[in-house]
Every structure is written in C-alpha cells, then in structure tokens.
Amino acid sequence: MPRFSVLSRLPQMPPVVLALALALAIMPHRAPAVGTYLGVNYQAKLTTATGGLPLNGSHTLYFSIWQGGSAGVADSGFKMYEESAVVTATNGIVDHTVGTGSILLGGPLDPSMFVTDNFMYLQVGIDSAANPVLPRTRLGAAPLAAKAFSSVDGVPQGYSIVSNYPNSPPGFTETGKPLYNPWLYLKRMVTARTSLAVAPANGKIYAIGGMLSGGAVSDANEEYDPDKNLWAVKAVLPTARRDVCAVGLGGLIYVTGGFDLFSMHKLTHSYNPNTNTWTPKANMNFERRYHCMTTYGGKIYVFGGANNTSGVLQSVEEYNPNTNVWTPKADIPTARQGAVAAELYGNIHVIGGASGPYTEGVHEVYNPATNSWTTATSCPLGMYFAGATVIDNRIYVIGGQFGINLADVRIYDPATDSWTVGEPMPEERTSLGVTSDNGRIYAIGGSDFNSAVSPLNRALDPTVYYVHQKN
C-alpha cells in the first residue's frame, strides 16, 4: 500500500494556534455547556509518496490525537483520541472536521484532553491507521480551523481560527474578544509564607525567607523544579527574616535586607544552587525592608524601602558582584516602600509602592548608564506589596494591595508607554513572590483576602489569542 505525505496545508495564512485546544483550555472560570463540543477542521493536500500523484476518490481516514512524542515518529506519545471517517479527496484536497467521525478511542473532544504542557499532534492514517501521514501536525502552531457547534466563551458558532495575531487573514474577521490562558494550579510550597522573595536560577525557582502563619520569620529556602512540578528543601537562609528581596545573577541567588522582628538589616547573602551553600557578601549602606531590586548589566540595583532611622527611603544602591561593593546612586524622586522594579531595554522601572496618599501608582524610570530618572505613565491601579516580572518585553505587575488585597494583573508596554489589563489571578494575594521562567509567570505565596498566609504556586502563560471568524 502506498504511503502518503502532506504536500501543502490549506488555507495559506500565518501560523495560528489550534483553536480547539485554546477555545477550551484557556477558559478557567466555566466549562462549556453539556452537549457542547468543538471540532478541528483538517484541510490538507495529499499525494502518494510514490509518484507524487494527488489523492482522489473515497478513502477512509483515521484521525488520532497524541500527547507527547514527536512529529516525525508515528504512534509516538500517548494516544488520547481516535476516530475514522470516509472522506472524498478531489485533486488531493481533503477536508474533514475531526470530532464528527466514528469514535474509536476516547469520548467526544472536551477540555480535559488539552490541559497539558506537552506538545500535541494530530496523526492521520490513509485507508489504515498503520499508514500515517508524516510528519504529524503539531497542534499548537498549525494553520487549522475550529468548528464550534454552539458559541463557547468568545468562540462563535461556526468556523473560526485562533491565533496570536490580532489581524485577520483573508476571509476571516476578528471577533474583538481576546482569549487568555488560565492560571495553572501547581504544587504548593512546602512551607506557606508571605513577605518572601523568589528568584530563578539555572531553570529552577527559589522561594526564600518570609513570614509564617502566626507571625514568626522564616529562614526557609525551597527550590521549585518547573519540569517536574516538585519542591525540594534546600540550605536555609543564614539569618531568618521577612521582607527580603532576591534576584538571580550569574547562576547565583542574591538576597538583601529584611526584618527579623527585632532589627532591619543591611545584609547581603549569595546562594549557590550547585553547591547548596550560602556566602555572606558586603552589607548595603542602609538597612532596608519593603525595598525592591532587579539586575542590569551584571549588577544589582536596590530601590527605596523603609527603616527605623530614615523612615521611607529614596535611597538607591548598585552592587557589583565582581568587586563586592555597594555604591550609592541617584535617589529615586518619590520615596516609596513596597514598590516593584523591572528592567527593560536598559531602563529600570520602579512602579507602585506607598509613602503617603496618592503615591501608589507612581511610575519612575532609572537609567543606569546616565544615573538619572524620568517618569512614565502611572499604573492606573495604585498598589503596593505587589510582584512584577518581564515577559515578551512587557512588565507584568501582579497582586498587591490597595485598601484590599488584589488579584489584578496590569501590563505595561514601554513601546507605547501604556497599560492594559491581564488575566487576574483566581484569588487575591499581597506580599507574594513573582518571577518568570521559560515563558511562564509564577506567583508564589503571599497573603490571601483573609490575610491568611498562602502556600499557593500558580503559573500563567501570558500569550493573548485572537479569534477570527470565517466570513
């Protein structure tokens, strides 16, 4: 029996994300109504491997959906679904909505099939499941369409495509309702903490220090492995304290400042994940708690915070790991505690925080090259004790408080100096740790709406998708 290969896929358009998987998996708050299913519209031009002649006439096609494996290896991974259907090919072109054939394995297509971090593939067999088209189609960057048999959470009834391009391809119209991935519920920390610090290093995430339920300070240091979704307890922070900051730099984690219930600290420690050891470093010039910190150009920068001597601080310091020296820099224009800091394009954005009325949305930008400050558009939502990180050249400010604890996500785009609203967390949290790694945002620990200390660990793929309906 001749083998077949995909000569070209139709229609020609920019790569789009599989509408079926996204339309279901990215809606965290409600499931589709009972009896509502989506189908994947498979369109391809098939030729015989011997002779390259277009496929014609009636054929039985076997469609299967696989989790994991690889595109070039048939039957690799875990088979989640299979159906067969009689399809008529005309000059090689076949068109079938997967989900409408005779089911051979699994039930109707539903959200649970697509909640996964693995690649997913559509495998098509011609006249036999043992005669597959190779390479298989990866469901994640294939120009496929979805057919919704009824309207589902922003995906209209009928044929649509979903892509991360806001502009529609020819023959489609953007619906105007973007879709977002849900916040994933991941393995909790071993020790619930608030007012902690988190930072990435070598593909792992470290949650350090903080305050325990009941008010005691913590010396905990826990390592999260995103690939395994597991936490491991590591060497404790040499001095237990809350309100610390942490950054990853050069494969090490640096932790500064904090409060031990009796004293505020100038302390700096570095942690080496490879040896699971801590090393004391030069103290900062000022004791600090509630400060913010980030890196640029191989150096560490701390901003603001508070101490018993000076109150709320304007002080800025730069740390050079090569010389182990802290150097004062130009003061931040607005003294603040509980702000967030993030670096983009060589500028460090210091956002939010509080020192008195009407300071919570302040957004000031530090240029390390010129040691100078400018202002940018204030965050529309004033907040303090939030977390922040950078993904896709945008700053994500997450959670915090402003009278009440917040679940909000606000996104700053320096290209337009503007703010937009992102997918909120499922629960309010303040004094949490926020970082990013491998395209995901992680929100760890903090205090919830009842001020209870939280062990939560959630992750978000912040990609925004656009639904384009067939005209």
Per-residue pLDDT of 262-296, as tens digits, reads 999 999 999 999 999 999 999 999 999 999 999 99
pTM: 0.71
- The predicted-structure confidence for 379-407, as pLDDT tens digits, reads as follows 998 899 999 999 989 999 999 998 899 99
**Average pLDDT of the residues of the chain:** 85
**Do residues 464 and 174 make contact, with C-beta atoms less than 8 angstroms apart?**
no
Q: Which of 79-88, 129-138, 424-433 is least confident?
A: 129-138
- pLDDT bucket at 24, cuts 50 / 70 / 90: very low
- pLDDT bucket at 468, cuts 50 / 70 / 90: confident
Number of helices (H) and strands (E) in the chain: give both, helices first: 1, 41
- The predicted-structure confidence for 405-460, as pLDDT tens digits, reads as follows 999 999 999 999 999 999 899 999 999 999 999 889 999 999 988 889 999 999 99
Place of tokens 């639904």: 467
Characterize the bridge pairing of strands 184-185 and 457-460: antiparallel
pLDDT > 60? residue 29: no
Q: Per-residue DSSP letters for 135-189? A: SPEETTSS--EEEESS-BTTB-SEEEEEES-SSPPTTEEE-S--EEPPPEE-PPP
pLDDT > 80? residue 312: yes
d(CA 5, CA 336): 62
Structure tokens of 302?
């701390």
pLDDT > 80? residue 21: no
- The predicted-structure confidence for 236-256, as pLDDT tens digits, reads as follows 999 999 999 999 999 999 999
Long-range contacts of 97-101 (CB under 8 A, 24+ apart): 97/39, 97/40, 97/41, 97/42, 97/147, 98/39, 98/40, 98/41, 98/42, 98/63, 98/65, 98/122, 99/20, 99/37, 99/38, 99/39, 99/40, 99/147, 100/39, 101/61, 101/63
Q: Which of 45-59, 272-286, 345-359, 435-449 is least confident?
A: 45-59
Q: Is 205 helix (H, G, I), strand (E, B) or coil?
A: strand
Structure tokens of 191?
């020790």
Structure tokens of 38?
């989506």
Q: Which CATH superfamily is domain 189-455 in?
A: Kelch-type beta propeller (2.120.10.80)
Which amino acid belongs to residue 34?
A: V
CATH 2.120.10.80 domain range(s) in the chain: 189-455
**415 Cα distance to chain centroid:** 20
DSSP class of 197 = E
- The predicted-structure confidence for 147-204, as pLDDT tens digits, reads as follows 666 676 667 777 777 777 777 777 788 887 777 788 999 999 999 999 999 999 999 9
For residues 370-397, one letter each, b for 16 or more C-beta atoms within 10 angstroms of the residue's C-beta and e for the rest, the string is eeebeebebbebbbbbbbbbbbeebbbb
Q: What pLDDT does residue 348 have?
A: 98
Angle at 428 between CA 424 and CA 434, to 5 degrees: 70
pLDDT > 90? residue 327: yes
- Cβ-in-10-Å burial (0-12, 13-18, 19+) of 242 comes to buried
Rounded to the nearest 10°, the torsion over CA 115, 165, 408, 402 is 160
d(CA 470, CA 307): 60
Q: What pLDDT does residue 110 have?
A: 63
Structure tokens of 429?
């949290």
DSSP class of 384 = B
d(CA 247, CA 295): 7
Residues in the chain: 471
Give the mean model confidence (pLDDT) for residues 324-342.
97
Give the mean model confidence (pLDDT) for residues 219-229.
95
d(CA 175, CA 102): 32
Angle at 178 between CA 172 and CA 183, to 5 degrees: 140
Instruction: Identify the top-confidence range among 51-55, 160-164, 227-231, 295-299.
Output: 295-299
Q: Is 238 helix (H, G, I), strand (E, B) or coil?
A: coil
